[in-house]
Structure 1
C-alpha cells in the first residue's frame, strides 16, 4: 500500500474544513432566519389579539378610521425592520462565505506560486522566458482577481447605501401617510360634530 503525500492529505483536510465552515455558516444563517420568523409570528399574534380587543371597544366610524390609520405607520415600520433583519442575516452569511472563498483562493494562489517557484528551480537552462511568461501570467491573474474583488465590494457597499436610502424614504412615506390619515379622520370627526 502506498502512502499519500502529506501535501495531498493536508489539502483534503483543508477542503473538508472549508466545506464544514460553509455548511456551518449556511446553517447558522438559516437558524437566525427561523428564529426571526418565530419572533415575528409571536409578536404578530400578540398584536392581533390586542387590536381585536381594541376593535371591540370602537363606538363609531371616526374611532374605527382613527384606529385603522394609527396602524399604518407601525405596520410599515415593522415590515421595514423585518426586511432589514433579513438583509442583515443574508449579508452576514454572504460575508462569512466570502471569507471562506477568499481564504481558499489565497491558499490556492500560494500553492500555485510555490509550484511555479519549484518549477523555476528545476527548469532546464534556456527556459527562462517560458518561466518569466508563466510568472507574468500568474501576476496578471492575481491582479485581475483583486480588481474584481474590489469592484464587487464597492458594488455591495453602493447596494447597501441604496437600500438604507430606500428604507428611509419608505419610512417617511408611511409616516406621512399615517399622519395624513389621522388628520383626515380628525377633520371628519370635527366636521361631523359641527354638523350635529
Structure 2
C-alpha cells in the first residue's frame, strides 16, 4: 500500500497533490515535476543501497525526457549522468562512456540556457525585500545567473569524471534540498539538472 501511494505521488495521480497543483499553476507541465520526483526517488534509493530501484527510476526519467523534453534540455544530461554511474557500478564501462558522451554533448548548451532562463519573482520575508528585488531586478538576475553558471561548471566537471576511477570532488544530490528554489520556474529545472546526480562514495 505504501509503495502504491508513493507511486501515485510521483506520477501526480492523486487529486489532493498540492505540489502538483502549484507547479501546474506556475506554468510547469506534469512531466516537469514527475521528472524531479523520479530523480529524487532514484537518488534516495541509491543512497539506501537499493541499486535496482534506483536504476528503474532513472530509466523511467530518461524515457520521460525523451518523450516530453527538448533534445538539449539539461535534465536529459542528468539522466545520462546517472545512467552512466549505474552502468559503471554494473561493470559496463562501454555503456557508461556512451551515456557520459551524451551528457557532455547536451551540457555544452548550459551557458546559453542559463543566459535565457526565466526567473520568477521570489517569495520574500518582508515588503522591504520585495521592493528591493523589484528595484534592482536586473542586478538580482545577473547575480543569480553567475551563481547558476558556477553550479553548471561544477556539474560539467562531474560529468567528465563519470567514468573515472575516483569520484568527482563536487557533491550534488546531498545539496539538492538546501539549494532547490521554492518557485516553479526555469531556475528550479536547471538546479535540478545540476544537483539531482548520484553522489559517488
Q: Return the TM-score normalized by structure 2.
A: 0.28
State which structure, 1 or 2, has the greater radius of gyration over its C-alpha atoms. Answer: 1
| Greater relative CO (CA pairs within 8 A, separation 6+) | 1
